[in-house]
Structure 1
């Protein structure tokens, strides 16, 4: 063996030939091409040299002692790393079809038959090296893409999904088919205490499928925290995905709002497998199929398709799954399917109630029998209670008389007003707009969640009972609530008159403040005097009585506010909310 160095930056070639003269000749030609050269005079030695030096090119004779070139080539190719391509060029005096076939079968990337001119071997080396260089460039690009994917996965898991609400209570299963999952799971709490959940599945999997992940997460989280309704969030996300995503990329998604206040789940399934509502015994109460094309396919949502609303109990669970679960295949090509999922989910909820995600993953893995995963696997297990946050109550005073409003015009720090009429009442939700104004002027604070609740309850009462003239007694049962919601949507679509007037006044004092909320509507009002005696009853009795009169909203507002005053025969209300700076 001889080794000649032509420069530390040059490539290294391994020449294998039992002829010292041939080794010397080939070494000279290779050095002229900028290679450093090491040599071996038999196949066994060539394998040892390959392991030691990891050359960039191998020139291999066919007929040699101890181990011939075919066997040496097979062993070298078996040792060749997946991230490294070392071209192997056979050099032989044998010129036959059989020799060509055996060279290719042994792993050779080319063959030269003696005798040949120096120009021919130089040309052959340049040709085969171009292939090697191209492979190296592709590999470098793959490594860069891998790093980008790792960074994106860290961003998704470490930044976006780490902000999810109640991660310790909501079960999430996420198993990617590639490094980066095209599935996304988001949870956020609305200021009124409702829980919003999203399971999304972008087209395909891998880095490309994640183009819309960040704007999707930001829109979902920001709009939920500002108190927008699920319908408004879905509409906004659809428009953003339609403008942002390429035509061949879209988002299959299920959106869910769970409201303890309404004892209902609002579900919108756009292209994902069925959403399940299981009771505490693992029995399927509801199975909500996809009702809409995937998000981002159409510029606007289909008008006649809306939310599916189902009643839920605190012990129920809403479970969302991606198609990666039901379409997982075993070695025989059979799919896991819905029947197996329902059976295994029932088993998990009965035997391991708080371990549904791990149980399903175990069952899917067991079923697939080590068959490579074809698609991302995702599941979200949502308990219908246990994630609520308590709201702080003020010391309430209930008023029902025509008196001066709290505060003084001279001391007001700022004032804001929004007057909505006719069809604008159906098109605009003023509560998030009002909350945005409050937070821009006074900054973010935890007590604004209470203000959001007060604004929501008072505005909904004004719109539903004042303008739309809906009867609250419809909401006395889960089935009645569904009828109430459908009737509300029907009346909103045809609304052409009526108004709701919202006015905010803020009074700032040292280390404290007071927000006065005035809302009036075009309705006929209600018997507000009845509340004076009702709200002083025991809590359970008061809740029941309030429900019969006008829902639980007034009782909740009464608990949160410093004072609550109805006037103008109940068609107008003033609520005063105070806070202390922390």
Structure 2
């Protein structure tokens, strides 16, 4: 009788009503009809109301909220508590009036509707997060350089990772790498990923130094991100040319430089607050420089690795990481070895933070430049045009003096002008290398008076650049004048470069005699820049005891 009365009242509220005489039948009907509301008596045959309610709630976990109201005559605290424990969303104690029943149904339906709206919002948020993850993986990190050689672990704690790995190739052949860990994890933690990636790639492509890139990223994230959101990051630049790696650790766990045998050659701790915390990098901030061998490996990790926990609450920590990494270095499987070690240690424990690693080989990055060999395809008449032409299509000049030499890199500025006027072309990479080598030569050996003898071996590069930083910091006088002139040809062109510095010059004759008499089996780490420029240029001429250099770069379409 009670069931029929309630059915009538529910139909008056617009519901379609299905009834069952026992708990087991009620569960079966729930599975079949997926109702919007369930009314449940406590005392029923086969399966009582508590058991049926628990079964129904377990079946509805992945669906929208289905409110469940217990109808009972047991007006006791114990009955009320047991109804809630069984999953009941409400309880009605008989007897009650039709008006009270209808009011209860409206109230519980209002809650159900609100839950449905929240569910929709969650689904939309999930879609947004999935789209953002696709953007991160498909647009940002998929554009990374040399994914086939650089080992990467990326395992997010949530759908969207707050960690980001970036790799890019500089025009001079250096490989820039960054591992970043935004505060927390999830969608909010990665709102800076796109501007970070674009700044890193664009500045690397234009030839800015790693320190200039870090400084610009810091300013951009400081201005863009809220105060409680910042980026712990490790940066490394692998220079096969210099046989050196330049490292900057800002808030990440220690970075590692391994030998081929798995020996830890250097362990680089954080020396700066995370990126984006301060408006400017600390005044004494600088890159740390280490000499490298071809077979060395650089490894950067996020704190999600060393802070991973097992069931006993122990952290994975640095000792276990180092053991796994050493095993991986020896077997050329750093990423796989570290990830397996973390998985074996944590077992079924839920992941608390994003886990990331970058493993970079230090050798094999020698850059293949587009040399000016195309000049052999230029006709004799065109060669005459090259050297007879007196008026360039355009001329660009910049003079830097004093402290400006220590703070401004003119090469990206020059290359930006060339690309703006002439458009992008592959052979500009060779021109970038020529400009860089000649400018650095004028600054280091001319203005700063540094000796190439410091670079007699790989470790000497580190000493060389420490002395370079010291002299740049104390630089008050001196100048470098850079001039670029462009002469277009019918099929190709010529760029004339002239660089003058205020240094003491050098004995050009002695330099070339030393090169001629150098043993063929002896590896010289200094002087290779000039040899590279000679290979790329049509002509290279030192004047005024080396204080002026003129270079001609010619290419054919």
TM-score, normalisation: structure 2: 0.95
Give secondary structure in 2 for the equivalent of 1:187. Answer: strand
1:539–1:449 distance in 2 versus 1, CA, 3 Å: farther
> Superposition pairs for residues 345-360 of structure 1, below 5 Å?
345-350=325-330, 352-353=331-332, 355-360=333-338
The farther-off stretch of 107-116 and 386-395 is 386-395
CA distance in 1, matches of 2:476, 2:387: 35
Q: Mark the runs of 5 or more structure 1 residues left unpaired by the alignment.
A: 1-20, 398-405
CA distance in 1, matches of 2:438, 2:63: 65
Pairing 1:53–2:29 present: no
Residue matched to 1:525: 505
CA distance in 2, matches of 1:180, 1:429: 37
Give secondary structure in 2 for the equivalent of 1:418. Answer: strand
Contact kept? 2:9, 2:98, Cα under 8 Å: yes
Pairing 1:87–2:74 present: no
Residue matched to 2:553: 577
CA distance in 1, matches of 2:12, 2:516: 101
Contact kept? 1:535, 1:555, Cα under 8 Å: no
> Superposition pairs for residues 434-513 of structure 1, below 5 Å?
434-513=414-493
Contact kept? 1:90, 1:108, Cα under 8 Å: yes
Residue from 5, 8, 22 that aligns with 1:42 = 22
Residue from 393, 408, 417 that aligns with 1:428 = 408
TM-score, normalisation: structure 1: 0.91
Contact kept? 2:373, 2:555, Cα under 8 Å: no
Q: Mark the runs of 5 or more structure 2 residues left unpaired by the alignment.
A: 376-385
Give secondary structure in 2 for the equivalent of 1:513. Answer: strand
Pairing 1:151–2:131 present: yes
Deviation per residue, 1:299-341 (Å, 9 max, x gap): 0111112111111100100011111111111111111111111
Residue from 353, 360, 373 that aligns with 1:375 = 353
Residue matched to 2:109: 129
Residue from 285, 293, 305 that aligns with 1:305 = 285
Deviation per residue, 1:181-219 (Å, 9 max, x gap): 110000011111111000000001110111000000000
Shift of 1:552: 2.1
Pairing 1:386–2:358 present: no
CA distance in 2, matches of 1:420, 1:451: 20
Residue matched to 1:3: none
Contact kept? 2:174, 2:365, Cα under 8 Å: no
Residue matched to 1:555: 531
Pairing 1:314–2:315 present: no
Pairing 1:110–2:86 present: no
The farther-off stretch of 312-321 and 117-126 is 117-126
Contact kept? 2:130, 2:159, Cα under 8 Å: yes
Contact kept? 1:417, 1:504, Cα under 8 Å: yes
Shift of 1:542: 9.3
CA distance in 1, matches of 2:346, 2:49: 42
Shift of 1:533: 5.0
Residue matched to 1:400: none
Contact kept? 1:252, 1:270, Cα under 8 Å: yes
Deviation per residue, 1:206-242 (Å, 9 max, x gap): 1011100000000001101110001100100000010
CA distance in 2, matches of 1:377, 1:343: 17
CA distance in 2, matches of 1:42, 1:521: 97
Contact kept? 1:396, 1:563, Cα under 8 Å: no
Deviation per residue, 1:422-442 (Å, 9 max, x gap): 111111100000011111111
Residue matched to 1:565: 541
Deviation per residue, 1:53-95 (Å, 9 max, x gap): 1111101122223332222112111211334211100111222
CA distance in 2, matches of 1:264, 1:280: 16
- Aligned-residue Cα RMSD (Å) equals 2.0
CA distance in 2, matches of 1:376, 1:461: 44
Shift of 1:574: 0.8
Shift of 1:536: 6.0
CA distance in 2, matches of 1:449, 1:554: 16
Contact kept? 2:371, 2:427, Cα under 8 Å: no
Give secondary structure in 2 for the equivalent of 1:40. Answer: coil
CA distance in 1, matches of 2:292, 2:459: 11
Contact kept? 1:171, 1:381, Cα under 8 Å: yes
Residue matched to 2:142: 162
Residue matched to 1:29: 9
CA distance in 2, matches of 1:470, 1:536: 23
1:90–1:141 distance in 2 versus 1, CA, 3 Å: same
Give secondary structure in 1 for the equivalent of 2:17. Answer: strand
Shift of 1:139: 1.4
CA distance in 2, matches of 1:391, 1:539: 26
Shift of 1:421: 1.3
Contact kept? 1:169, 1:387, Cα under 8 Å: no
Residue matched to 1:14: none
Pairing 1:231–2:218 present: no
Residue matched to 1:250: 230
CA distance in 2, matches of 1:395, 1:510: 17
Pairing 1:263–2:243 present: yes
Contact kept? 2:300, 2:359, Cα under 8 Å: yes
Contact kept? 1:396, 1:560, Cα under 8 Å: no
Deviation per residue, 1:487-506 (Å, 9 max, x gap): 21122122222111111111
The farther-off stretch of 39-48 and 289-298 is 39-48
Give secondary structure in 2 for the equivalent of 1:38. Answer: coil
Contact kept? 1:396, 1:558, Cα under 8 Å: no
